[in-house]
Amino acid sequence: MSYFDAASSAPLHPVARQALLASLDEGWADPARLYREGRRARMLLDAAREAAAEEVGCRPDELTFTSSGTRAVHTGMAGALAGRRRVGRHLIVSAVEHSSVLHSAEEWEAAGGEVTAVAVDRAGAVAVGVYEAAVRPDTALACLQSANHEVGTEQPVAEVAEVCRAAGVPLLVDAAQSLGWAAVAGPWSLLAASAHKWGGPSGVGLLAVRKGVRFAVQGPVDERESGRAAGFENLPAIVAAAASLRAVRAEAAQEAERLRELTERIRARVPQLVTDVEVVGDPVRRLPGVVTFSCLYVDGETLLHELDRAGFSVSSGSSCTSSTLTPSHVLKAMGVLSEGNVRVSLPVGTPAEEVDRFLSVLPGAVATVREKLGAPVPVTVREKDALVVNALGKRCPIPVIELAKVIGDVQVGATVRVLSDDEAARLDIPAWCEMRGQEYMGEEPAEKGTAYLIRRLS
C-alpha cells in the first residue's frame, strides 16, 4: 500500500520514534518539581523548546507547546484579538485558510466582530495589494497560511507580513504545511504549527508569540507554558516533535528537490494520461510534495475507493464524498473544478517507482468510474431558444455529465439551461465552461433549485 496523504498526517519519522521511546523512560516526571526526576524532565522540556524555537526562528521563551495545531491556532487568534480589543474588532483572513482559522473567525463574527475574507486567484494565492487594501485602522489581527493544505500553493507571507508591520497589525501565520520544509520568512507576529504534519507524533502543536505582541490569554490560566496551554505537558511527545522537526529540516533541501521532480512528473503526465482533467494550484510557488487535480464526470468518493483498491491512499476536496455535500471551500474560493478531485501528497522517502505505478493505475481507475456514471440519460426539453437539462435531485458529477452530453445538440450561439439543486453545480458548471471554451452566462432562480445558463461558443 502506498500512502500518498502526507498533507493530512505524515508517517512517524524514525527520529521521532526513537526520541519518544527514550523520553518515556526519562521524561515521565513533573517538570515543575525540584527533585531529581523533575529536574531531568525540565531539562528535556527546555532542550525541546530550544530546538523547536531554533527551527521556527523565534526565542525559546516565545514558544508554547499546545495539545494540537488546531489548539495553537485557536489560542493564538483568541489571545491576539483580545489583546488588541481597544484597537478594534476587525479580523482579516484569506478565503482558503484551514478550517481551524475559519472556525475561529466564525466565532469572532458571531460575538460581534467583523471579518474580511481576502479572495484568492485561480491558483489559490492572495495578491499582496488586495490583502493590503483589506487592512484598516481598526484591524486587530490578520491571518495568512504559509502554504495551502489542499492544493499546495505557497502564499506571499513575507510581503504580507511587511504590509502588516507597516500598518501596526500583527500577522498570525498557520505554518502547519510548510514548517517541516523551511522557517517562515518575514516579520510575522504569531505562528502556529502541528507536529504530525512533519512526521512528529500527533497531539503536539506549536504556538509562537513574538515579544511585543499584545496578547491576552482567554479562559482559565495556570502556571504551565506561560499560561497559554493549561495542563500537564505531554513531555515524551514534545521531545519527539522537536527532535523530528530538527531531523526533517536537516534533510529538507535534498528531499524537497527530489519530491518536486516527482510531483512535476504527476502534474505533467496526468493531463496526458486522462482526458478532461484540470491540475490546480500554482505551478511554481508550491509545496514540494503536493499535487492536486480534478477529473470531469467523476465521483470523487468512488475514485478514491478505486485508487484504494489499487493500493493508493489519497484524499479529495470533492463535494462527492460521504462527509460533505458541498465543495471544498478552497476549491470554491479558487473557482476551479471540484468534482473528481484528487490530492496526492507524497511523504518523505516516497520511491519514484510508486509514483510511476500510480500514474499507470490512474487512467484505468478514472475510466472505471466514468463508465459507472455514464448510464444516466439527460432529461431535456426545448424552451424557446434554450435547451433545458433537468438535473434536479442528481448529485455531483451528474449535472455536468448531462450538460456535456447535450451541448453538441444546440447550435453555436444557442443556450443550454441546466436545472440543479446541488450546491456543487455552482462551482463545477462554470469550471466546466472554462475548461471546454464555452460561455458561462450566470445563474437565475428557478421554481426548484437554480438555473445555470451556458452559451455554446464552439
Rounded Cα–Cα distance for residues 152 and 258 (Å): 16
Rounded Cα–Cα distance for residues 385 and 200 (Å): 61
30-40 pLDDT, tens digit per residue, is 898 999 999 99
Rounded Cα–Cα distance for residues 303 and 290 (Å): 18
Rounded Cα–Cα distance for residues 179 and 183 (Å): 6
Flag whether pLDDT at 454 surpasses 80. yes
Q: Beta 341-345 vs 380-383: how paired, if at all?
A: unpaired
User: How confident is the model at residue 385, as a pLDDT?
Assistant: 61
Q: Is 67 left (phi over 0), alpha (psi -120 to 50) or beta?
A: alpha
SS3 294: strand
CA 368 to chain centre: 28
Flag whether pLDDT at 346 surpasses 50. yes
Q: Beta 63-66 vs 205-209: how paired, if at all?
A: antiparallel
Kindly report the number of other CB atoms within 10 A of residue 225's CB atom.
Answer: 18
Flag whether pLDDT at 258 surpasses 50. yes
Kindly report the number of other CB atoms within 10 A of residue 219's CB atom.
Answer: 9
Flag whether pLDDT at 383 surpasses 70. no
Q: Quick check: 177 and 145 in contact, CB under 8 A? A: yes
User: How confident is the model at residue 318, as a pLDDT?
Assistant: 61
Residues 252-259: what's their mean pLDDT?
Answer: 96
Q: Quick check: 314 and 321 in contact, CB under 8 A? A: no
Flag whether pLDDT at 218 surpasses 80. yes
55-105 pLDDT, tens digit per residue, is 999 999 999 999 999 999 999 999 999 999 999 999 999 999 999 999 999
Residues 431-437: what's their mean pLDDT?
Answer: 90
What is the DSSP secondary-structure string of 48-81? HHHHHHHHHTS-GGGEEEES-HHHHHHHHHHHHH
Decide: residue 138, CB within 10 A, 0-12 exposed, 13-18 middle, 19+ buried.
exposed
Whose cell is 496526458? That residue is 272
User: How confident is the model at residue 158, as a pLDDT?
Assistant: 98
Is 320 catalytic? The answer is: yes
Residues 9-18: what's their mean pLDDT?
Answer: 96
Q: What are the residue ranges of helices labelled H in 310-442?
A: 329-334, 352-372, 398-406, 425-436
156-214 pLDDT, tens digit per residue, is 999 999 999 999 999 999 999 999 999 999 999 999 999 999 999 999 999 999 999 99
Residue in 164, 320, 396, 433 annotated catalytic: 320
Decide: residue 168, CB within 10 A, 0-12 exposed, 13-18 middle, 19+ buried.
exposed
Flag whether pLDDT at 321 surpasses 50. no
Q: Identify residue 430 by its one-letter amino acid code.
A: P
Flag whether pLDDT at 324 surpasses 60. no
Residues 366-381: what's their mean pLDDT?
Answer: 68
Flag whether pLDDT at 347 surpasses 90. yes
Using alpha carbons only, what angle is made at residue 425 by residues 423 and 431, rounded to the nearest 5 degrees? 135
Based on C-alpha coordinates, what's the Rg of the chain? Answer: 24
What burial letters (b/e) apply to 248-283, b meaning 16+ CB within 10 Å? Answer: bbeebeebbeebbebbebbbebbeeebebbbbbbbe
Q: What are the residue ranges of helices labelled H in 197-280?
A: 235-250, 252-273
The pLDDT mean for the chain works out to 91
Flag whether pLDDT at 325 surpasses 80. no
Decide: residue 458, CB within 10 A, 0-12 exposed, 13-18 middle, 19+ buried.
exposed
CA 438 to chain centre: 30
Flag whether pLDDT at 319 surpasses 70. no
User: How confident is the model at residue 378, as a pLDDT?
Assistant: 40
Please provide residue 94's backbone torsions phi and psi, each rounded to the nearest 5 degrees: -90, 160
109-129 pLDDT, tens digit per residue, is 999 999 999 999 999 999 999
CA nearest neighbour of 195 among 103, 50, 65, 31: 65
